[in-house]
Amino acid sequence: MVVMVENGGMRMGKVSFVLVLCAVFMLVGWSGAAEGAEPQVSAGRYHTVGLNTDGTAVAAGYDVSGWTDIVESSTGDYHTVGLKTDGTVVAGGWNLSGQCNVGGWTDIQQVSARYYHTVGLKTDGTMVAVGLNDDGQLDVSGWTDIVQVSAGGHHTVGLKSDGTVVAVGYNSDGQLNVSGWRDIVQVSASRYFTVGLKGGGAAVAVGRGGYGQLDVRGWTNIVEVSAGYLHAVGLKTDGTLVAVGLNDQGQGDVGGWRDIRQVSTSWNSTVGLKTDGTVVAVGGRYYGQCEVRGWRDIQQVSAGFYHTVGLKTDGRVVAVGSNEYGQSDVSGWTGIQQVSGGGWLTDAHTVGLKTDGTVVAVGGNSYGQIANVAGVGSFSNSNPWANFEF
């Protein structure tokens, strides 16, 4: 999912990180209690979460049925965290390492969940954190003047009010080497790397970069950055794109694209939405996930693992690519205002948020991530992927 950040009418940029399983960075406005929540839907690795306009939350895969007055949610790999209007926090899902132990938190203005830990940014600019701390990713107690926080796989990154960045945790690939960063307006911690967007539209990145996916130093006038597994794409203010990283299947061949207004990346493909409502795509074609040439009147695109989804201006949805688990069976959907393609292999699925606030979903359901949006299905605590490393 892609989230825009506006400040005084000036477009500061948007950052979308799709790393293997659509690991998502989402920045929401921080100005105290909200008058009302904006409807949102997000497809995580093994579960799906929706935020209603009245502040209640719904989820498939994990139970959040009792949540109310929610203004922001963040999904980790196996748990979900919700920030309430009064600054307290609720959490549900796997609690193997204590990542859901947020019951005593107060005065929180932002939450970020990832893998086995949860971090919270307090209104005074200090931090709290719970969960797994095997690499020091929870050692944020001394941080001050923080304005945004992002939890990575085994590290945590904080943006300070002066535009500098701090980081703690696992540093095997240099993902914590942010001490020299300046003039940063957004940060995102992925599993093995960290990306920052600068105020002037430049991007910086540190961490695992064996295929050149971190070579963003020369980028300028960037308003959106979308990172695939081993490649990264930047959308510029003039509607053109730049790309770095692995290009073994042509996923980085975007140099000739023009008039792009949204970009989405997946495992090995890149999809761009043009200002005229048509769509372009490059990369892996084995399942036909890039066959979007005939699409018209599209207002949003989402690249799943091996499928691509497009939302039309009339609220209908189109999809191409793999349909082994029914993740592309969206032809009957109507009245949709947002779509998200997520999942991995047998858990590939597509979620749609309707204009009436209800949710529809199709695809793999091994963790109940689609069945429960209709009020049926169940969640199993078995986790065959617990020790799988990406």
Per-residue pLDDT at 390 exceeds 50: no
Dist CA 321 CA 303 (whole Å): 10
pLDDT in tens, 143-194: 999 999 999 889 999 999 999 999 999 999 999 999 999 999 888 887 788 8
- Which of 14, 166, 189 lies closest to 114 in space, CA to CA? 189
Dist CA 390 CA 378 (whole Å): 27
Given phi > 0 = left and psi -120 to 50 = alpha, else beta, which region is 185? alpha
For the domain spanning 267-379, the CATH number is: 2.130.10.30
Dist CA 162 CA 96 (whole Å): 36
Dist CA 45 CA 22 (whole Å): 8
Helices (H), the chain: none
Q: For the chain, give every domain's residue range.
A: 5-266, 267-379
The pTM is what?
0.69
Task: Identify the band that residue 51 occupies on the pLDDT scale cut at 50, 70 and 90.
Answer: low
Dist CA 309 CA 281 (whole Å): 12
Do 5-266 and 267-379 fold alike per CATH? yes
DSSP codes joined into one string, 95-115: -TTSTT--TT--SEEEEEEET
Q: Beginning with the edge strand found earlier in the chain, give each strand of the sheet holding 317-321 in spatial order.
A: 298-303, 307-312, 317-321
Q: Are 82 and 76 in contact (CB under 8 A)?
A: no
Q: Are 151 and 112 in contact (CB under 8 A)?
A: yes
Q: Which pLDDT score is estimated for 139?
A: 98
- Which of 204, 203, 209 lies closest to 222 in space, CA to CA? 203
More confident: 301 or 14: 301
Assigned CATH topology for domain 5-266: Methylamine Dehydrogenase; Chain H (2.130.10)
Q: Which pLDDT score is estimated for 57?
A: 60
Dist CA 153 CA 386 (whole Å): 13
More confident: 185 or 298: 298
